Amino acid sequence: MASQEQLELEAKRTAHVEQLSNWLLQNSSIYNIFLSGIKQTSVVAGTVISRLTLTPTHLNSKGGLHGAVSAAFIDFTTGLAIASWDLREKTGASVDMHISYLSSAAGAGDVVEIVATAEKVGGSMAFVTILIQKVEVVDGEEKKTLVTKGHHTKFVRQSTKPKTDGEVRN
């Protein structure tokens, strides 16, 4: 059973990630277009799971999840995973992004789950893996089909951890 301190830290972590998510949506037109309606379903240290229902805005000319939209999902959610690692306020700048498009199975009306896992957040770099999966309920059970897999490296040296009570920062 989790201690009261652990429960408070997890609540703080979730609130921090939700606040960052809301700030990003309000302050980035591209995120607001592609990620309006995204909900975090799980936040733990280093991993954020989000869900979003796809609309025609998310699709390519063949009716599948657009590659550029997948890249926006990856960019957005990797920052959330980095923030969940240690509650930092800034989540760095992109250095490298690799994306594998595995299936065009996700279309309008489908729910996708985006799992962003910070594998390592160091003093200069952060390495995050991402899975975008279509979620279907079949015979009362969730079935997930992997649509996109990504790896995102971000430069985080200028990123900051939140201030503690009484801490002065230059």
Of 105, 103, 138, 113, residue with least CA distance to 52 = 113
Asked if the structure places residue 160 within a domain, the reply is no
93 falls within a domain? yes
Q: Is the dihedral of CA 18, 96, 129, 105 positive or negative?
A: positive
Look up the domain containing 25 and give its range: 4-155
> Residues 65, 70, 72, CA angle at the centre, nearest 5°?
135
CB neighbours (10 Å) of residue 124?
13
Number of domains into which the chain is organized: 1
Q: What share of the chain in percent tops pLDDT 70?
A: 91
- Does residue 18 fall inside a structural domain? yes
Convert the pLDDT of each residue in 37-70 to its tens digit.
Answer: 999 999 999 999 999 999 999 999 999 999 999 9
Domain assignment of residue 166, yes or no:
no
Within a domain: 169: no
Within a domain: residue 164?
no
What are 121-147's pLDDT values in tens digits?
Answer: 998 999 999 999 999 999 999 999 999
Lookup: tokens for 90: 């800034």
Q: Is the confidence at residue 159, as pLDDT, over 60?
A: no
Mean pLDDT of all residues in the chain?
A: 90
Residue 163 lies in a domain: no
Query: What CATH number corresponds to the domain at position 116?
Result: 3.10.129.10
Residue 152 has a pLDDT of 98
List 125's β-bridge partners, or say none.
155
Mean pLDDT, range 65-76, rounded to an integer: 95
